[in-house]
Amino acid sequence: MRCLKIWKRERHEMDFYCVIKPLYYVSKVTGVAQFSYIQTNLKSLNGKVLKINDLKPSGMLWTLFVFLVLASGLVSVMMWNFLYDYTNYSFNVIITDTFSILLLYGSSFSCLIIVGIVHRKDIIQILKKFSLLDTVLLRNHRQRRYKKENNFIIVELSVCVVVLFLSYGYHVSSWATGIAIIPFASKDLAHFAGTIILTQYVDVVLLLRSRFKKLNEELLLQCADSENNLCRLEVRDTYQRCNRIAFLEDFSALSPWKQDCKVECYKSSSKCKLLPPGSHRRDREVIRQFRVLHSELMDICDLVNSCYGFSILLLFAYYFTSLLSSVFYVMQKVVSLDITSETDPDVIRGLVSSSFWALVYFLKVVVTTVVCTEASAAARNTGRIVHSILLQDVSQNVITELKLFSLQLLGNSSELFTAFKFFEINLTFLYNFVGSTAMYLIILIQLK
């Protein structure tokens, strides 16, 4: 009963770390979440001590254990294939299947090494940046937003885990008996680890898209005044003012514009006096704060690319080869079917299984590219808003700050989400992915 009350209280008063807890627990099992939750004490303005969630790096033993399990699975899969499965296959099929298996396990190994060991502090930095950004961007209706995001992650993980494990069970029960279950289960385990890696990446990009859109909304709402078309940040009470103080102080050491983060009217937490409503100096501070926010979001994008880029590249290569081989297998079997005679049940199971996995691979690529495209569009929309404000009648000081903001956006106009710098993940990539699959299918059919 006490645990239920604690869970309800956490659900009622959520922070960013509570939002990602479901994904954290699933990622912890697969070895790609090498950090742990701790509680630190924070003294508030009225003297009360508040306990807040924080993160710290944890040991790497579990990641190494998962790495050894996957390595053992790779050895068992390759031994089984070369001893039993590949005896009746052609050389081309053996090369293609071996290459796809190496890509699948390579993506899992790379993510365990890069995310779980090398860049585990960068993952913590990403989450802390999100938490600090939300103190400003989500100062209103934060709990409602957190609950929606938490519910989305729970539903997403529930659907993925249930569908994948049902398909794994059908796959193993239909094609494996006895000792053959081990290599089949090992391959399914590697596929599940790759799915969790991709889920992490997609969820982080979705959070970035949400924060970019929120920043653009705040920029539009707070940059429309009847006097000079630029309004000021609304500060309703001391608590919200001190939230901004904490944010600016915490980010003053991280932002390249350290001096921009130190707003003069926020130097003292006990004497927060707002500048006069018509002050252009305060307008400049508003724009500077948006510059800091956008800069930190772009830093998160860079960290995401460095942590997940290589694993996403290997996963997309695996999806391409697996989709190509699955579709080609289905086309071959459908063409060779004899509708006048009774069809072998194994052929039907093979058609169903190959069609299902081809659809899964294609949907993964589509979802990832669409999410990255939407996030990139939200990030680039900030520049359009800034240039629209420049066309209005604003003071010279504000124009100077907006031009600096525009130069900052111009410097960040490169590719936002990439697969290890090989290509940008957007709809153009999806178009090339589909076109390449169709082209290779035509080549295989002609060679056949």
41 pLDDT band (50/70/90 cuts)? low
Query: What is the tens place of the pLDDT at every residue in 351-390?
Result: 888 999 999 999 999 999 999 999 999 999 999 999 888 8
Q: Indicate the number of domains in the chain.
A: 1
12 pLDDT band (50/70/90 cuts)? low
Question: ∠ at Cα 242 (240, 245), nearest 5°?
Answer: 120
Question: In the predicted model, what is the mean pLDDT of the chain?
Answer: 80
Q: What percent of the chain has pLDDT over 70?
A: 78
Q: Is residue 57 part of a domain?
A: no
Q: Is residue 378 part of a domain?
A: yes
Lowest-confidence segment of 1-5, 118-122, 396-400 by average pLDDT: 1-5
Q: Taking a C-beta distance cutoff of 8 angstroms, is the pair 124, 57 a contact?
A: yes
* Per-residue model confidence (pLDDT) at position 278: 47
Q: Is residue 155 part of a domain?
A: yes
Lowest-confidence segment of 41-55, 67-81, 100-114, 305-319 by average pLDDT: 41-55
15 pLDDT band (50/70/90 cuts)? confident
Q: Is residue 47 part of a domain?
A: no
Q: Is residue 160 part of a domain?
A: yes
Read off the pLDDT of each residue in 423-435 and give the average, rounded to a whole number.
96
Residue 347: give the domain boundaries: 65-447
Q: Is residue 11 part of a domain?
A: no
Read off the pLDDT of each residue in 36-62 and give the average, rounded to a whole number.
67
Q: Is residue 28 part of a domain?
A: no
301 pLDDT band (50/70/90 cuts)? very high
pTM confidence score: 0.84
C-alpha 326/C-alpha 56 separation (Å) is 43
Q: Taking a C-beta distance cutoff of 8 angstroms, is the pair 16, 134 a contact?
A: yes
Lowest-confidence segment of 159-168, 202-211, 227-236 by average pLDDT: 227-236
Lowest-confidence segment of 95-104, 265-274, 282-291, 331-340 by average pLDDT: 265-274
Q: Is residue 42 part of a domain?
A: no
Q: Which of 388-397, 399-408, 427-436 has the highest average model confidence (pLDDT)?
A: 427-436
* Per-residue model confidence (pLDDT) at position 171: 78
The answer on pLDDT for 347 being more than 90 is no
77 pLDDT band (50/70/90 cuts)? very high
* Per-residue model confidence (pLDDT) at position 360: 95
Torsion of Cα atoms, 352 then 353 then 356 then 360, to 10°: -170
51 pLDDT band (50/70/90 cuts)? low
Alpha helices in 14-141 (DSSP H): 16-19, 21-30, 61-83, 91-113, 120-137
Q: Taking a C-beta distance cutoff of 8 angstroms, is the pair 294, 408 a contact?
A: yes
